[in-house]
Amino acid sequence: MLKQTLAVLLIVSATACSQMQAAGSRPAQTQSQAAMTTHTVDSKYSFNDTVSRLQNAMQSKGMTVFTVIDHQAAARKHGLSMQPAKVIVFGTPKVGTLLMVKDPAFALQLPLRVLVTENGGKVQVVFNDTRRLISGSKIEYAEVENTLANAERLIRATVSQ
């Protein structure tokens, strides 16, 4: 009886493992892993100054600001109200192109985005974690530590200094 029970458990375990591999699933995220998906930094500047400072900092480093999406203005057009929220879409095609050539699906992660929002008088900047951004791609951290990761550092410095 014990041998039969062990045999059944082995078969069930092996089946579950093979199904997970076949589906390409990953272990469940812990709370700390999920928390590292984005970073939130308090800005010491007003909402509009934060947006301007970020755009200027990006452009001064040779990045392109492709667009700024004003969620509050879009909501207002439809008779809705919400807190100030703008997403700056930015990047460097010279860098992004090389990453997309290596991993075409990485195009879903580019261009980079940063959210500036204000709640209760507190201006915050939210952006994706670089390591999390490249997880599941063919891109290694060493390939982006002096490019995408620098954008994180630039954002932090721009709103806190």
pLDDT tens for each residue of 72-128 = 999 999 999 999 999 999 999 999 999 999 999 999 999 999 999 999 999 999 999
In a domain, 96, yes or no: yes
- CA 117 – CA 83 distance, rounded (Å): 7
In a domain, 19, yes or no: no
In a domain, 13, yes or no: no
**Dihedral sign for Cα atoms in the order 101, 128, 142, 96:** positive
Q: What is the pTM of this model?
A: 0.78
Quick one: pLDDT band at residue 63, thresholds 50, 70, 90? very high
What pLDDT does 16 receive? Answer: 37
In this structure, what DSSP letter does residue 152 have?
H
62 conformational bin, left if phi > 0, alpha if psi -120 to 50, beta if neither: left
Structure tokens at 58: 């990006």
In a domain, 142, yes or no: yes
In a domain, 77, yes or no: yes
Residues 6+ apart with CB under 8 A from 76: none
In a domain, 5, yes or no: no
The CATH number covering residue 87 comes to 3.30.310.70
What pLDDT does 124 receive? Answer: 98
pLDDT tens for each residue of 9-27 = 333 333 333 333 333 433 4
Structural domains in the chain (count): 1
What is the extent of the structural domain holding 101?
A: 37-160
In a domain, 1, yes or no: no
DSSP assignment of 73-134:
HHHHHTT-----EEEEEEE-HHHHHHHHHH-GGGGGG-SEEEEEEEETTEEEEEEE-HHHHH
In a domain, 25, yes or no: no
